Amino acid sequence: MTRFLVKALIYLLILLSGIYAAENIGPFFDGSKEPPLKNDISVLESTLSVAKKHFARDFFPKDYQNCEFAIEIAKKAILVEYEQPYFSKDFTYARQKVSEAFDISLELLKKTAEKERILYKQYEENIQNLDKILATAKNLLDHTSNNTIARQRYAAAEISYKSAKKLFEEKRLISAVKESSKGLNMAREFVTTSRDTLSRYSDPDLIRKWISWKQRAIQESAKVGSGIVVNKEKHTLELYKKASLVRIFTVEIGANATNQKLYAGDRATPEGYYHITAKKGRGQSKYYMALLINYPNSEDKVRFNTLKARRELGGRSRIGGLIEIHGGGGRGFDWTDGCVALTDREIEYLFKRVSVGTPVAIIGSEGNGPINSILKEIR
């Protein structure tokens, strides 16, 4: 019996020793007592810092927060094990959390790099397109500066363009992309507005009508001695004698240069077929000398009355008059209330070579001027 008890105790001791060895000696060999490398957390924090510098927190706020959380969990898991008695330490969970944090941080860095690449590309495309559109827009603005909506859209596009470049220099990539996209939209809206305003200058029916007025003035000059053709698109005045071109002048016209005159005060130069009704010498005109034409003619009156009947003009609108070819020009921009301005020396030259009854064709375009060139570019 005693022998049996001794054997039983020996077996029990062997069993307990095996259990103890499995729990306390085995970990020395399976690596559970080994903590993660000391620089693992430093590498994780550096990875997060790099991701932050490349806008990860802005691009992927939730992913960035998850990465921060994963690193904190890994750090705490390591600290908890360090605080345990030596024989109770088990870094298996801590190493697992470090590994998970590495996976999360590397995935965040990968996503951030791809997002940054896409945004850089988008910004560059926006700025390049904006450069091209603004270059065209500047030419359009010369002909549509009187249009308040168009002018405001052009100004907004330019402001966004400059702001986007500044934001990019400040490494605020998301804001730079948003601002450049905004500028691109404004520039496109400006081009659309300007194209709608100027489309009449490429209208084939109107061009045929305008050319017919020019041809009529030239033909009539063969009978009465002289003829005048004013081309609003080209800002020119052509003088004909006996159907032959004598001289071309550069002129300035109404501040509302591109539109047909509809009523008094709209600052647009009329388009139509007219005649000189009076010659005003020195002292008779505000602008040195002047040639008065018979605006409004019958066609102008029909247009005005039709618009008024449709209530497209205010009830107090008047058709106006006193449209002249006069001096005072040479300012380099369109400034008149609807008249055609030459320099004083040029009006004196013209004054001597025309007479009352001389035909005056004021046309919008012949289809081959600067406005049409721009319209062809943006089609």
Q: Encode pLDDT of 268-306 as tens digits.
A: 999 999 999 999 999 898 999 999 999 999 999 999 999
Instruction: Please tell me the predicted confidence (pLDDT) of residue 290.
Output: 97
Residues 6+ apart with CB under 8 A from 325: 228, 230, 237, 290, 291, 293, 339, 340, 341, 342, 347, 350, 360
**CATH architecture for segment(s) 204-377:** Beta Barrel (2.40)
Least confident window among 25-34, 72-81, 315-324, 342-351 = 25-34
The tens digit of pLDDT for each residue in 237-248 reads: 999 999 999 999
Task: Please state, rounded to an integer, the average pLDDT across all residues of the chain.
Answer: 88
Better-scored residue on pLDDT, 170 or 30: 170
Query: SS in 3 state form for 236-300?
Result: EEEEEECCEEEEEEECECECCCCCCCCCCCCCCCCCEEEEEEEEECCCCCCCCCEEEECCCCHHH
pLDDT digits (tens, 9 = 90+) for 339-376: 999 999 999 999 999 999 999 999 999 999 898 988 88
Q: Is the pLDDT of residue 24 over 70?
A: no
Of residues 361 and 257, more confidence is placed in 361
Q: Please write the tens of the pLDDT for every residue from 169-218.
A: 998 889 999 999 999 999 999 999 898 889 999 999 999 999 999 999 99
pLDDT greater at residue 214 or residue 49: 214
Q: How many C-beta neighbours within 10 Å does residue 116 have? A: 16
pLDDT band (50, 70, 90) for residue 5: very low
Residue ranges, comma separated, of all CATH 2.40.440.10 domains in the chain are 204-377
**Diameter over CA atoms, the chain:** 154
Q: Given pLDDT bands bounded at 50, 70 and 90, which one contains residue 26?
A: very low
Say how far apart CA 300 and CA 306 lie, in whole Å. 10
